[in-house]
Amino acid sequence: MSEDKASIVTETEVYEALRECYDPEIPVNVVDLGLIYDVKIIDDWVGIKMSLTAPGCPAHTWISQNIRNRILQMPGIKDADVRIVWEPLWNPSLMSEEAKKILGMP
């Protein structure tokens, strides 16, 4: 077996794709908001573990479906799973400095 079983995409490429996904109420991508907790890549499957800014977020289905659809657009990816988790509970300290600047936070 001479072929290396390397992943089709890298974690960095997945995070770059996720930077194109937004909460419709906040002008900051889900990565910089600190909503993405984990990315797993197994062959042509990508799993995303993420949270939302609030447990009662009315856009939770739209956000997770948008993320799944974006991942499925990546070359070679055949399936994707987005799981919403509540531990740890999201808080503003998880945001990037860029996100805080955009939202006018210290």
> Which pLDDT value is given to residue 106?
84
- In this structure, CATH architecture of domain 11-90: 2-Layer Sandwich (3.30)
pTM, entire model: 0.89
Domain extent listing, the chain: 11-90
Given the structure tokens 């210290």, which residue do they identify? 106
Residue found by looking up tokens 């993320």 in the block: 67
The reported pLDDT for the residue numbered 61 is 94
- Residue 3's pLDDT is 39
Helix (H, G, I), strand (E, B) or coil at 32: coil
Dihedral sign computed on CA atoms, order 75, 81, 83, 88:
negative
Mean pLDDT split into 10-residue runs, the chain, 106 residues: 59 98 94 98 97 92 97 97 96 96 93
